Amino acid sequence: MGSAQGPEHRLLHNVELGTLCACYGGLLTSKQRQAVRLHCDEDLTLAEIAEEMNVTRQNVHELILRSEQKLRRYEAALRLAGQTQETRESLTAAIAALDADNPLESRAMLSRLLHQLDEEETPDGV
């Protein structure tokens, strides 16, 4: 395994999967949610999750794989996690501009962000 597949890669993957689950976990079955939560949040191995859920290790592997595929399809269609990250980055930049005592730049950033949020709303306000 290369360094890209090491502990850092696994951590980033689990964080990403946990973020997707936070956005779309309600659309998973309770077993799928439990398996992903134990895998990402509790950092349990497949064997430990299998024991906790009283299923086989292979069943857990397939459950997590199917859940991840489902979560990625939701994200591809809805982009909630991506928009949340973009908003977080924009707000962080605006705060940095305020901290640097640059009110014109921070006001412009916040105005762009507000405009972007207004464009993302649907006509019924959802």
pLDDT of residue 121: 57
Name the percent of the chain lying above pLDDT 90. Answer: 50
Q: How far apart are CA 34 and CA 28, in angstroms?
A: 9
Total structural domains in the chain?
A: 2
Give the torsion sign (CA, 61, 67, 71, 76): positive
Residue 19 lies in domain: 3-78
Q: Are residues 90 and 71 in the same domain?
A: no
Range in 5-19, 41-55, 102-116 with the lowest mean pLDDT: 102-116
Q: Are residues 18 and 40 in the same domain?
A: yes
pLDDT at 69 over 90: yes
Q: Are residues 74 and 87 in the same domain?
A: no
CATH number at residue 70: 1.10.10.10
Q: Are residues 104 and 45 in the same domain?
A: no
pLDDT of residue 2: 42
Q: Are residues 102 and 64 in the same domain?
A: no
Q: How far apart are CA 92 and CA 41, in angstroms?
A: 25
Q: Are residues 57 and 13 in the same domain?
A: yes
